[in-house]
Amino acid sequence: MQVNLNRWWVYLQERFPVIKNGLLIAVFSSSAVSYSFLLRGGVSIPCTTSLIVAFVCIFIFFLQLRIIDEFKDFADDSLYRAYRPIPRGLISLNELGWVGMVSAIIQLGLSLYLTPALALILGAVWFYLALMSQEFFVSQWLKSHPLIYMLSHMVIVPLINLYGTACDWLVVNATIPSNSLWFLLTSFFNGMVIEIGRKIRVPDDEEFGVETYSKLWGYEKASGVWLLVLGLTAACACEAAIQIKFATPIICLLTTLFIFALLTVRYLLDKPITERANLIEKMSGLWALFVYFGLGVAPHLPQVIIFLFSHF
């Protein structure tokens, strides 16, 4: 059993780091619930049960995305990336399939527990995940159109975000707030920030058979596209902040982060080496983390502090 657990831990460390991903997903999920709560005029803090269900189910969604990718990429990984856990035999696809099924049962149980209607949105996310697993039945066409490939796959992020917001508004039998669109768009572009940021490499680090945006566009142009998507995310996030009357802090936060992003790109272009390229990916994670923190968590901080002091 110890050996079995060890190999799963090694797999997670390599392909789905629990702590790093867990922190971002915790902020992502709590932001979705809290933002919906704020749109509905909430003045205290969201329901703890909603926050927990949203976190667990959204964490599983992203784990399922990783599992789907392992199945889709197995042939290419076996040819070009034999060092990865699945091709080298650490974990089998059959085992991952069982993890995916068990995790889906957990999601369904938690969704039904929170409110039966939530299972409908869960089913919608599952349906899109199933389409993604089959590359929308146009695999070769999508691979020959990488931009459309990315855009089609990024739709899953606002869908997951929709599930998170539903853990708030659906529980109280409300309808989805019409002005939540900007928040969903923010998550769409934030997904692109992370996706592009993790696939920018310097020429010496490119691998044969591994598609990256730096290989597709060159690392200079890919960095420029990354900055453009940061700007689109910032614009949507500012509109989302206006809906909850929290625009000034968000504008200050994102302006500061964008300046750091510009400096990061300039740093890479001055000397394109591995360590500097890796900063793009790290900056992408920090950007997403602070965007969600600013939109969903930060507005509640005064209430959270009052709650903590009154209970401890």
109 and 152 assigned to the same domain:
yes
Question: Which residue, 140, 157, 172, sits at the end of a domain?
Answer: 172
32 and 162 assigned to the same domain:
yes
186 and 280 assigned to the same domain:
yes
166 and 242 assigned to the same domain:
no
Report, as ranges of residue numbers, the positions in the chain whose pLDDT lies below 50. 1-3
Structural domain boundaries, residue 80: 1-172
The helix-helix angle for 18-39 and 274-292 (nearest 10°) equals: 30
Question: Which residue, 115, 147, 172, sits at the end of a domain?
Answer: 172
pTM as predicted: 0.93
165 and 186 assigned to the same domain:
no
Cα 221 to Cα 2: distance, rounded to the nearest angstrom = 47
Amino acid identity at 120? L
We report the CATH number of the domain holding residue 137 as 1.10.357.140
| pLDDT at position 2 | 44
| pLDDT at position 1 | 40
160 and 184 assigned to the same domain:
no
58 and 43 assigned to the same domain:
yes
195 and 93 assigned to the same domain:
no
> What is the overall mean pLDDT for the chain?
92
Question: Which residue, 172, 199, 222, sits at the end of a domain?
Answer: 172
| pLDDT at position 130 | 96
196 and 294 assigned to the same domain:
yes
167 and 203 assigned to the same domain:
no
| pLDDT at position 303 | 64
| pLDDT at position 176 | 87
The dihedral of CA 221, 222, 223, 225: what is its sign?
positive
| pLDDT at position 160 | 98
124 and 253 assigned to the same domain:
no
Number of domains making up the chain: 2
| pLDDT at position 104 | 97
221 and 270 assigned to the same domain:
yes
